A and B are shown apart, each in its own frame.
Chain A
Amino acid sequence: MSLFKARDWWSTILGEKEEFDQGCLCVADVDNSGSGQDKIIVGSYMGYLRIFNPHPVKPGDEVQPEDLLLEVQLREPILQVEVGKFVSGTEGLHLAVLHCRKLCVYSVSGTLGNVEHGNQYQIKLMYEHNLQRTACNMTYGPFGGVKGRDLICIQSMDGMLMLFEQESYAFGRFLPGFLLPGPLTYSSRTDSFITVSSCQQVESYKYQVLAFATDADERQETEQQKLSSGKRVAVDWVLNIGEQALDICVVSFNQAVSSVFVLGERNFFCLKDNGQIRFMKKLDYSPSCFIPYCSVKEGTINTLVGNHSKMLNVYQDVTLKWATQLPHIPVSVKVANLQDLKGVIVTLSDNGHLQCSYLGTDPSLFQAPKVDSREINYEEFDAEMKKLQKIIKEATKTQDILPKSEKHRDLIVTAEVSPSLDAESQAIDSEVKAEAVPSVTVKITIQSRVTAQKPNLAVCVQAPLAVTCDQFVFDDLEPDSSETVVLSVFLKGNCSPSELEGNCMVSYNIPTGIPKVAQCNFRLPLRLICFPAQPSKAANHKLTIDTNKPPISFLTIFPDFVDPSEDDQANVLGFQFLTGSKTTLLASKTSQRYRIQSDQLEDLWLITKELTLRLEEHFKKQNCKDFACTFSGSIPLQEYFELIDRHFELRLNAEKFQELLSERAVQFRAIERRLLTRFKDKTPAPLQHLDTLLEGTFREVIALADAAEENQANMFQAFTKLKSATHLMIMLISLWQKLSTDQVAILEATFLPLAEDTPELGWEETVDAAISYLLRTCLSKSSKEQALTLSSQLCMPKDTSRLKKNITLFCDRLAKGGRLSLSTDSAAQQATVMPGGCATIPESDLEERTVIPGSTATFPSHGQIAKQKSKP
């Protein structure tokens, strides 16, 4: 990240798809022109050698043809180019080119033409060495302190240093502990070679030591001799830097002490001559190349570091002095004097972008992409805004955003339950212990008139019923297309369900992105959960339903349960549930009555419901409109209370289990912690049976969890039974008092809250609160009772006596002529707060159920707006 970018002075792209790396760039006055002007020498892995002498008329000019002094194809990859005094007898600069298996030294010379573009340059091979081993990189210098000439040292891929005294080969030495080559350099002050080995150490080898060690050419011997001491190449000093290095550089400027710079993969080191760290800097980027170039301030050294995020940083020791952006990732960076311009930064990228640049305050203007914004027509926008505001206002006022248009449904979902049970049962994993668990097929069809995106069908039946597949995802529906799926419903849990209703729901998006929902209900056949059986005379619970029409033969209304050949079934019918219990249905021959009897209260419900439904249907068919059922007997409250108690007891158990579990868990963690300290101790102390204790606690936790799970399953069953019984109660009360549908709705909302039965918020307290509310409002006897003393938070009661008392009182009041209503005069005030038709459907324990007299007083805003938040 930088404010500025490097200013382009001169740049060119070399070749096509050529590859370059660190050694490929060299800057020197290679043709010995004596003008002190550097030339740029670039070699490529494709074997091209190019020499440039850039002289743009003004910065950023196009490349002139005469800038390229020379271009030759050397027919072998060029690994490295260096310029030095490589030819004996002369102090002129020569060019050394390192190939994979060859070292060539050329002299570069030019003959001046009449005009500038007439200048001719050529290279002449002075000498070459064929190498026995594959070369990797090289360094040069006055090894051994020779004056006026440079010797060359080549490092091979397998770790041999090959030294050449100009035209002749001097000797080769293997580096000890070598694996992969590292950067190599020569320090003339200490007369030693410095490299970074695979052991992540900076190692320095004295030239002297190398020269006197055993010749590596007799490798066989060396291998053995390496083991014996004395002849081995001994290292001068070692510094463990803990990372691999990219490059290494030795510098000595006038103002600063001589130092060794090492560019690691993550840090940048400056070492003293003896291998101690002078300073280091942790880099928070991946560097690619570097060069220490001069010393501006006494005692400090300036360094250029290029990195893989296309930046070039200038450091003075460790302080960042300048950061500039480059157009490419540099693999090599040099500083050159070109055309009377000192200190030009020359960078080369690995695909051959060669650039000469200088620093400057040329801002790297970051061009933020334009946000797509239209010409604003304020009037139009104002109008649109007003329209939208209106819509929003409308929507928030009615609370009901979707307009209801039943007739023009865009998508219709229908469910069709097949009249007969599946020939082959589709039930899977049923826990019912019956011989055969039947299933019934439901066919669901989705018809769409518009494009429906991402339609998703969910089918839901109340547990313990289950479906074979409850989620379907379709592809987008085209207009006027339809989809059909088939699934089976069966009884899964080992108890009778409280309802035989199912529900399917399709959610989809219309193309404008508005999510919509369509749903439908379906009713499952009674045969799914019970089958005909021998009627039994005796039973604990009996119910009698009166009607105002003569009794109908069961042959007509229960054709699926009655075997037509048996006549005596016309007025008595036995039902056997899959779960085992039995219910018997009797029709009186003389009076207009039906009797339902069973050993369990909850089993009566489904049969009673089925009976009334079928009767109503039957009379509807016969166009008989005044059919009505009534119930005159006393409500079986006592039996109902038993079911409530059973459920409540299981809830108490669940709470107890939870307490025990958390207690054990605390104990378990305490033991764990102790064990942990024991194990971590340096001097192992005896465990003192802590492990046994841990094991024991673990078993206890598991056993408790199992018990809690079992209790949960029991509770679920108990709740299902309770729900069945509650349905029955509602039905009986409504038949008994001949309640209107509105009143039945209130009753249902009171006794069957939509909320799930959870440990925190259970059925008992919810229903209790709802009944209390009704007792205080529409069923209240005096205005005194209307005083509101409801507790603000629902919590689990200690026992069910209050609930029972309230239910009894509730029935009492109804019997005395109380009317269920949410908008009676006496309750007008409170009712304003209640949303919609359902009186009390608490959704969570957070929602407080207190009723506050509607206050319309203006409320001065004293509140505080939370502060703005910003996180870059």
Chain B
Amino acid sequence: PLGRQRAGRLWGPSRSRCGGPAGAMGLELELEPLFQAWSYFRRRKFRQCADICSQLLKRPPGEQAAWSLKTRALTEMVYVDEIDMDQEGIAEMMLDENAIAQVARPGTSLKLPGTSQGGGPSPAVRPVTQSGRPITGFVRPSTQSGRPSTMEQAIKTPRTALTARPITSASGGYVRLGTASMLTNPDGPFINLSRLNLAKYAQKPKLAKALFEYIFHHENDVKNALDLAALATEHAQFKDWWWKVQIGKCYYRLGLYREAEKQFKSALKQQDMVDTILYLAKVYLRLDQPVTALNLFKQGLERFPGEVTLICGIARIYEEMNNISTAAEYYKDVLKQDNTHVEAIACIGSNHFYSDQPEIALRFYRRLLQMGVYNCQLFNNLGLCCFYAQQYDMTLSSFERALFLAENEEETADVWYNLGHVAVGIGDLNLAYQCFKLTLVNNNDYAEAYNNLAVLEMRKGHIEQARALLQTASSLAPHMYEPHFNFAILSEKVGDLQRSYTAAQKSEEAFPGHVDTQQLIKQLKQHFAML
């Protein structure tokens, strides 16, 4: 979760204008207040800037420059790059009238987890997410995609606190973003949108752009923002690409993807811009047209060769489409352009790890550590890599640090889970048992830990416990094949062939290429035939 928010929030404690030592020395060096505010803005000291502007605005007559500067300062305080924002609610998914085909062809849709074409690792090696995609090395807003097929199923699928999806995107993260406007202000809100004459402002391009960003980012009022943008683009005789991009952004937020696409395309015709390409690609991804998005990125790269965000976008799409090796190639391209790119390093690292090259993965993770990434996940991964690269001396100390750095119980659970693996690896089953137990203490939705506990219980011969644990695991994570398969084996051993068969079928559904499952099914079928 290395967030990519850019909004630097500087909350300067001093509210007075900078007096400094000048006063003490008996010298009154007075800077022009507007200049002081302007300088604060340049240095991203938005709080001080806004304070000075407020004082300026108290004096009659209200100055446009101070007003505009304050608008910009307030916006910058809460600014989050819209490109990185993505959230799809259940309602958007289900009422999606943009879908072209019910069943997309393989390789053209992100909805199907799909068969891996690029020879990526199988789920036996690399864990998958709920939607059947391999777990990526970097947590991004949109990594939890994948769509349930009906509304009922969407509402009923197990939703833990970590994977919960809002009912509509209007109720999700966007709401949290806009809460800046709800902070109580003794003088009421800075700009009262309902009293704003948008048509008047739309005719003043110098004010309108700052005002738009304020309405969009600070107030989070997409409708008013769209009104302003529509008026402004008309005033600019549809010659200003910036307004078109803004209209596109509003349309995107409102779920009018085709309209957004038109605006972005029209803006691109006027002026090639990296941001516009990224927005347009985002629209295509939402419309589930990854191939179009890929082509767009590639065209964009011709115009802006070596643009990191574009290459990274390509890599992400390939990763989502399960084409891991191509994704890794593009991530390597990213590193050629910007060798401090954390996402690329992390993704290549995890790719190496899951393709059984822990030593190489270790180098990537160590690089991240040297660069100053210092968190629980990194040490967790370092510990695992060390273990599988047979550098046992470092393993435990890495995990120790990971535990020390864990910020919440989910992270602690992850570390304990991996420690459990190490314990299994060194054959200390007691320790493993306790580690998995601790995992569940920290996060009792941890399906993998339930599964592994069940395996340990099976070894001890506690069949009832193992069965209960496996059932819990499979109900928590229907997408994992292990609980189903283990359940099938367990049932087969005690002679309950019918249940074994159903479980085996579920396992096959979750992971069609699993050889052991296929063998089991074959064996069971023979049994049935004999009966």
**Distance of A504 from chain B, by nearest CB (Å):** 27
Whether the Cβ atoms of B374 and A282 lie closer than 8 Å is no
Q: A157-B34, A868-B418, A871-B135 are in contact. Are A863 and B307 (CB under 8 A)?
A: no
* A847 CB contacts on chain B under 8 angstroms: 468, 471
Whether the Cβ atoms of B489 and A863 lie closer than 8 Å is yes
Within 8 A of B (CB), among A146-187: 157-158, 177-181
Whether the Cβ atoms of B151 and A75 lie closer than 8 Å is no
**Distance of B290 from chain A, by nearest CB (Å):** 21
**Distance of A77 from chain B, by nearest CB (Å):** 5
**Distance of B351 from chain A, by nearest CB (Å):** 12
Whether the Cβ atoms of A320 and B337 lie closer than 8 Å is yes
Whether the Cβ atoms of B95 and A855 lie closer than 8 Å is no
Whether the Cβ atoms of B8 and A308 lie closer than 8 Å is yes
Whether the Cβ atoms of A181 and B38 lie closer than 8 Å is yes
Within 8 A of B (CB), among A314-333: 317-320, 323, 329, 331
Q: Which one of B346, B417, B434 lies within 8 Å of A872 (CB-CB)?
A: B346
Contact with B along A348-380 (1 / 0, CB 8 A): 001000000000000110101001110000000
Whether the Cβ atoms of B424 and A861 lie closer than 8 Å is no
- Complex Cα distance A317/B471, Å? 57
Whether the Cβ atoms of B43 and A673 lie closer than 8 Å is no
- Complex Cα distance A535/B511, Å? 73
Give the size of the chain B interface in residues (CB under 8 angstroms): 125
* A748 CB contacts on chain B under 8 angstroms: none
Q: Is A662 an interface residue (CB 8 A)?
A: yes
Whether the Cβ atoms of B35 and A2 lie closer than 8 Å is no
**Distance of B451 from chain A, by nearest CB (Å):** 5
* B238 CB contacts on chain A under 8 angstroms: none
Q: Is B274 an interface residue (CB 8 A)?
A: yes
Q: Is A115 an interface residue (CB 8 A)?
A: no
Q: Is A266 an interface residue (CB 8 A)?
A: yes
Q: A368-B401, A869-B135 are in contact. Are A46 and B340 (CB under 8 A)?
A: no
**Distance of A531 from chain B, by nearest CB (Å):** 48
- Complex Cα distance A856/B493, Å? 12
Whether the Cβ atoms of B400 and A371 lie closer than 8 Å is yes
Q: Is B355 an interface residue (CB 8 A)?
A: no
Q: Is B522 an interface residue (CB 8 A)?
A: no
Whether the Cβ atoms of B458 and A680 lie closer than 8 Å is no
Q: A669-B94, A865-B455 are in contact. Are A286 and B206 (CB under 8 A)?
A: no
Contact with A along B375-408 (1 / 0, CB 8 A): 0011011001000000000000100110010000
**Distance of A523 from chain B, by nearest CB (Å):** 37
* A868 CB contacts on chain B under 8 angstroms: 127, 384, 417-418, 421
Whether the Cβ atoms of B20 and A19 lie closer than 8 Å is yes
Which of A196-204, A409-417, A506-514, A819-827 lies at the binding interface? A196-204
Which of A240-248, A459-467, A561-569 lies at the binding interface? A240-248
Q: Is B261 an interface residue (CB 8 A)?
A: no
Whether the Cβ atoms of A870 and B31 lie closer than 8 Å is no
Whether the Cβ atoms of B43 and A865 lie closer than 8 Å is no
Within 8 A of A (CB), among B171-213: 205-207, 209-210
Q: Which one of A242, A277, A288, A371 lies within 8 Å of B43 (CB-CB)?
A: A288
Whether the Cβ atoms of B340 and A1 lie closer than 8 Å is yes
Q: Is A612 an interface residue (CB 8 A)?
A: no
Whether the Cβ atoms of B125 and A867 lie closer than 8 Å is yes
- Complex Cα distance A373/B399, Å? 13
Q: Which one of A79, A280, A792, A867 lies within 8 Å of B35 (CB-CB)?
A: A79
- Complex Cα distance A858/B493, Å? 10
* B475 CB contacts on chain A under 8 angstroms: 846
Q: A46-B20, A100-B35, A366-B370 are in contact. Are A318 and B307 (CB under 8 A)?
A: yes
- Complex Cα distance A673/B34, Å? 53
Whether the Cβ atoms of B42 and A21 lie closer than 8 Å is yes
Q: Which one of B20, B135, B209 lies within 8 Å of A199 (CB-CB)?
A: B209
**Distance of A309 from chain B, by nearest CB (Å):** 8
Give the size of the chain A interface in residues (CB under 8 angstroms): 99
Q: A244-B72, A864-B482, A868-B421 are in contact. Are A46 and B458 (CB under 8 A)?
A: no
Q: A662-B152, A861-B455 are in contact. Are A246 and B42 (CB under 8 A)?
A: yes
Q: For B35, B256, B369, which residue has the most chain A Cβ atoms within 10 angstroms?
A: B35
Q: Is A392 an interface residue (CB 8 A)?
A: yes
- Complex Cα distance A368/B373, Å? 10
**Distance of A679 from chain B, by nearest CB (Å):** 10
Measured CB to CB, the nearest residue on chain B to A392 is B434
Measured CB to CB, the nearest residue on chain B to A158 is B65
- Complex Cα distance A833/B454, Å? 18
Q: Is B463 an interface residue (CB 8 A)?
A: yes
Whether the Cβ atoms of B381 and A865 lie closer than 8 Å is no
Q: A21-B39, A363-B370, A859-B463 are in contact. Are A240 and B240 (CB under 8 A)?
A: yes
Whether the Cβ atoms of A350 and B43 lie closer than 8 Å is yes
- Complex Cα distance A113/B256, Å? 77
* B319 CB contacts on chain A under 8 angstroms: none
Whether the Cβ atoms of B374 and A366 lie closer than 8 Å is yes
Within 8 A of B (CB), among A279-300: 279-282, 284-286, 288
Q: A371-B401, A865-B421 are in contact. Are A319 and B381 (CB under 8 A)?
A: no
Q: Is A134 an interface residue (CB 8 A)?
A: yes
Whether the Cβ atoms of A870 and B381 lie closer than 8 Å is yes
Whether the Cβ atoms of B371 and A3 lie closer than 8 Å is yes
**Distance of B206 from chain A, by nearest CB (Å):** 4
Whether the Cβ atoms of B31 and A77 lie closer than 8 Å is yes
Q: Is A720 an interface residue (CB 8 A)?
A: no
**Distance of B334 from chain A, by nearest CB (Å):** 10
- Complex Cα distance A285/B367, Å? 20
* A45 CB contacts on chain B under 8 angstroms: 18, 20, 29, 31, 39
- Complex Cα distance A17/B496, Å? 80
Whether the Cβ atoms of A46 and B22 lie closer than 8 Å is yes
**Distance of A135 from chain B, by nearest CB (Å):** 8
**Distance of A658 from chain B, by nearest CB (Å):** 11
**Distance of B11 from chain A, by nearest CB (Å):** 14
- Complex Cα distance A18/B430, Å? 63
Q: Is B101 an interface residue (CB 8 A)?
A: no
Q: Is A866 an interface residue (CB 8 A)?
A: yes
Whether the Cβ atoms of A22 and B304 lie closer than 8 Å is no
- Complex Cα distance A368/B475, Å? 40
- Complex Cα distance A662/B151, Å? 10
Measured CB to CB, the nearest residue on chain A to B421 is A868
* B308 CB contacts on chain A under 8 angstroms: 281-282, 284
Q: Is A441 an interface residue (CB 8 A)?
A: no
Q: Is A267 an interface residue (CB 8 A)?
A: yes
Contact with A along B54-70 (1 / 0, CB 8 A): 00000000001100110
Whether the Cβ atoms of B372 and A179 lie closer than 8 Å is no
Q: Is B27 an interface residue (CB 8 A)?
A: yes
* B210 CB contacts on chain A under 8 angstroms: 198
Whether the Cβ atoms of B44 and A861 lie closer than 8 Å is no
Whether the Cβ atoms of A872 and B377 lie closer than 8 Å is yes
* B209 CB contacts on chain A under 8 angstroms: 198-200
- Complex Cα distance A281/B304, Å? 8
* B135 CB contacts on chain A under 8 angstroms: 869-871
Contact with A along B62-101 (1 / 0, CB 8 A): 0011001100100010000100000000000011010000
**Contacts A/B (CB < 8 Å), 13 sampled:** A73-B27, A157-B34, A157-B38, A178-B206, A198-B68, A200-B242, A281-B304, A281-B308, A284-B4, A364-B372, A368-B401, A859-B461, A866-B483
B-to-A contact residues, CB < 8 Å:
2, 4, 6, 8, 18, 20-22, 27, 29-32, 34-35, 38-39, 42-44, 64-65, 68-69, 72, 76, 81, 94-95, 97, 124-127, 135, 137-139, 151-152, 205-207, 209-210, 240-242, 245, 256, 271-275, 278, 304-309, 336-340, 342, 346, 349-350, 353, 365, 367-374, 377-378, 380-381, 384, 397, 400-401, 404, 414, 417-418, 421, 424, 430, 434, 447-448, 451-452, 454-455, 458-459, 461, 463-464, 467-468, 471-472, 475, 480, 482-483, 485-486, 489-490, 493-494, 496, 499, 516
Q: In the A-B complex, list the 6 residue pairs whose CB atoms are closest, starting with the nearest.
A: A866-B448, A1-B371, A198-B206, A863-B455, A863-B486, A179-B206
Known: A320-B339, A865-B424, A872-B368. 4 other contacts (CB 8 A): A1-B340, A3-B371, A864-B516, A869-B414
